Structure 1
Amino acid sequence: MKKNWWKESVVYQIYPRSFKDSNGDGIGDIPGIIEKLDYLKELGVNVLWISPMLESPQDDNGYDISDYRRVYKEYGTMEDYEKLLEEAHKRGIKILMDLVVNHTSDEHNWFIESRKSKDNPYRDYYIWREPVNGKEPNNWGSVFGGPAWEYDPQTEMYYLHLFSRKQPDLNWENEKVRQEVYDMMNFWCEKGIDGFRMDVISMISKDQSYPDGKMNGGLYGDFGPYCVHGPRIHEFLQEMNREVLSRYDVMTVGETSGVTIEDAQKYAGEDRNELNMVFQFEHVEDQGSDHGKWTTEKYDFQEFKKVMIKWQEELAGKAWNSLFLGNHDQPRSVSRFGNDNPAYRETSAKMLATCLHMMQGTPYVYQGEELGMTNAYFTELKDYRDIESIQYFHEYTEAGIYTPEYMMKCLMLRGRDNARTPMQWEDSYQAGFTEGTPWIRVNSNYKEINAKQQLSDPDSIFHYYQKLIRLRKEKPVIVYGVFEALYRDHDQIFAYTRTLEGEKLLTVCNFSEHVAEMEIPEEFQKNAECLITNLGRKDFGKKVILKPYEAFVLYRNL
Structure 2
Amino acid sequence: MRITDTSDLWWKNAVVYCLDVETFMDWNGDGTGDLDGLAHRLDYLAELGVTCIWLMPFYPTPDKDDGYDVSDFYGVDKRFGSLGDLVEVIRSARDRGMRVIADLVVNHTSEKHPWFVSARSSRTSPYRDFYVWRDTPPKSTPEPIFPDKENSVWNFDERTGQYYLHRFYRHQPDLNVANPRVREEIGKVIGFWLEMGMSGFRIDAVPFFIDDEGGADDDYGDGHVYLRELSDMAKRRRGDAVLLGEVNLPYKDQVKFFGGPQGDELTMQFDFESMQRIYLSLARSDARPLARMLAKRPDIALRSQWANFLRNHDELTLDKLSESERDEVFAAFGPEKRMQAFGRGIVRRLPPMLEGDPRRIRMAYSLLFSLPGTPVLFYGEEIGMGENLNAEGRHSVRTPMQWSSAKNGGFSTARRRSLPGPVTEGAYGPEFVNADEQVRDRDSLLHFMRLLISRYRTSPEIGWGELTIVKQPHASVLAHRVTGPLGSMIALHNFAAESLTLEIPVDGGDDDTRLIDLLHDGATAVTSRGTAELTLEPYGYRWLRVTNPGTRRIG
| TM-score (structure 2 length as normaliser) | 0.81
The residue correspondences of 1:259-274 to structure 2 (distance < 5 A) are: 259-269=250-260, 271-274=262-265
Task: Find the residue that maps to 1:532 and give its secondary structure.
Answer: coil
The residue correspondences of 1:431-510 to structure 2 (distance < 5 A) are: 431-436=409-414, 437=416, 438-444=419-425, 445=428, 446-487=430-471, 490-501=474-485, 503-510=487-494
Task: Find the residue that maps to 1:365 and give its secondary structure.
Answer: strand
Do structure 1's residue 83 and structure 2's residue 83 form an aligned pair?
Answer: no
Of 521, 546, 555 in structure 2, the residue corresponding to residue 556 of structure 1 is: 546
1:557 partner letter: T
Task: Find the residue that maps to 1:69 and give its secondary structure.
Answer: coil
Tell me the CA shift for residue 130 of structure 1.
0.8
Task: Find the residue that maps to 1:348 and give its secondary structure.
Answer: helix
Of 313, 320, 329 in structure 1, the residue corresponding to residue 305 of structure 2 is: 320
Tell me the CA shift for residue 477 of structure 1.
2.4
Do structure 1's residue 511 and structure 2's residue 492 form an aligned pair?
Answer: no
Do structure 1's residue 340 and structure 2's residue 321 form an aligned pair?
Answer: no
CA distance in 2, matches of 1:168, 1:144: 14
The residue correspondences of 1:35-50 to structure 2 (distance < 5 A) are: 35-50=40-55
Of 239, 243, 262 in structure 1, the residue corresponding to residue 233 of structure 2 is: 243
Cα distance 1:501–1:89, how it changes in 2: closer, same or farther (>3 A)?
closer
1:469-514 CA-partner distances (Å, limit 9, x unpaired) = 2223323323322221124784321111122347331111112334
Cα distance 1:490–1:124, how it changes in 2: closer, same or farther (>3 A)?
farther
CA distance in 1, matches of 2:449, 2:296: 23
Runs (4+) off by over 6 Å: 536-541
Of 272, 291, 302 in structure 2, the residue corresponding to residue 281 of structure 1 is: 272
In 2, are the aligned partners of 1:268 and 1:277 still within 8 Å (CA)? no
In 1, are the aligned partners of 2:16 and 2:374 still within 8 Å (CA)? yes
| Segment drifting more, 272-281 vs 200-209 | 200-209
CA distance in 1, matches of 2:352, 2:542: 16
Do structure 1's residue 13 and structure 2's residue 23 form an aligned pair?
Answer: no
Who is 1:216 aligned against? none
The percent identity for this pair of structures is 31
Of 340, 360, 363 in structure 2, the residue corresponding to residue 351 of structure 1 is: 363
1:432 partner letter: G
Cα distance 1:137–1:169, how it changes in 2: closer, same or farther (>3 A)?
farther
CA distance in 1, matches of 2:398, 2:522: 35
Cα distance 1:315–1:544, how it changes in 2: closer, same or farther (>3 A)?
same
In 1, are the aligned partners of 2:348 and 2:396 still within 8 Å (CA)? no
CA distance in 2, matches of 1:509, 1:333: 26
Cα distance 1:551–1:316, how it changes in 2: closer, same or farther (>3 A)?
farther
Cα distance 1:248–1:285, how it changes in 2: closer, same or farther (>3 A)?
same
Cα distance 1:143–1:69, how it changes in 2: closer, same or farther (>3 A)?
same
Of 142, 145, 160 in structure 2, the residue corresponding to residue 143 of structure 1 is: 145
In 2, are the aligned partners of 1:150 and 1:158 still within 8 Å (CA)? yes
Alpha carbon RMSD of aligned pairs, Å?
Answer: 3.1
Who is 2:334 aligned against? none
Task: Find the residue that maps to 1:555 and give its secondary structure.
Answer: strand
Who is 1:221 aligned against? none
Task: Find the residue that maps to 2:492 and give its secondary structure.
Answer: strand
1:241 partner letter: S
Do structure 1's residue 422 and structure 2's residue 397 form an aligned pair?
Answer: no
Do structure 1's residue 329 and structure 2's residue 314 form an aligned pair?
Answer: yes
In 2, are the aligned partners of 1:312 and 1:321 still within 8 Å (CA)? no
In 1, are the aligned partners of 2:288 and 2:475 still within 8 Å (CA)? no
Cα distance 1:315–1:524, how it changes in 2: closer, same or farther (>3 A)?
farther
Cα distance 1:480–1:28, how it changes in 2: closer, same or farther (>3 A)?
same
Structure 1: gaps of 5 or more residues: 211-229, 288-292, 390-415
Who is 1:305 aligned against? 290
In 1, are the aligned partners of 2:350 and 2:361 still within 8 Å (CA)? no
2:405 partner letter: D
The residue correspondences of 1:201-240 to structure 2 (distance < 5 A) are: 201-208=206-213, 232-240=222-230
In 2, are the aligned partners of 1:85 and 1:95 still within 8 Å (CA)? yes
Tell me the CA shift for residue 307 of structure 1.
5.8
Do structure 1's residue 530 and structure 2's residue 517 form an aligned pair?
Answer: yes
| Segment drifting more, 458-467 vs 538-547 | 538-547
In 1, are the aligned partners of 2:34 and 2:80 still within 8 Å (CA)? yes
CA distance in 1, matches of 2:74, 2:387: 34
CA distance in 2, matches of 1:501, 1:245: 26
1:194-230 CA-partner distances (Å, limit 9, x unpaired) = 11111112212335459xxxxxxxxxxxxxxxxxxx9
In 2, are the aligned partners of 1:351 and 1:551 still within 8 Å (CA)? yes
Who is 2:337 aligned against? none
